[in-house]
Amino acid sequence: MEALSHVDLPEEVADSYEVFVNGVPQERGADFDQVGRTLVFRHELQAEGRLGFWRWARIFFGVAGTYGRNDTVDVVFSDGGRRTVVSLRPTPPS
């Protein structure tokens, strides 16, 4: 398996959790694997970078607006009996 994208799990996430990418449930072993405290995805995830000055200016003045792909990884886990969600930004391929 080629590691394309990954996210690091926060310390408060225990062993039992659910993973969603852009709201779509992901399965361990099919869509991602856990290596230590890192979730390694089998498909590429993208995080939109910061807007540069010219791109921001075009959007602000209504000349042209573009939306880049911006995947989000949501991890749902139990924290003291409450369901908690943490949203993580994927790290691009290295």
- The CATH number of residue 63's host domain is 2.60.40
Q: Would you say residue 42 lies in a domain?
A: yes
Q: Which residue range is the domain that position 21 belongs to?
A: 5-88
pLDDT at 1: 47
Question: How many structural domains compose the chain?
Answer: 1
Q: Would you say residue 65 lies in a domain?
A: yes
Report d(CA 52, CA 64) in Å as an integer: 14
Does the pLDDT at position 46 exceed 90? no
Q: Would you say residue 94 lies in a domain?
A: no
Does the pLDDT at position 74 exceed 90? yes
Q: Would you say residue 9 lies in a domain?
A: yes
For the entire predicted model, the pTM comes to: 0.75
Q: Would you say residue 67 lies in a domain?
A: yes
Greater model confidence, 54 or 9: 9
Report d(CA 27, CA 25) in Å as an integer: 7
Q: Would you say residue 93 lies in a domain?
A: no
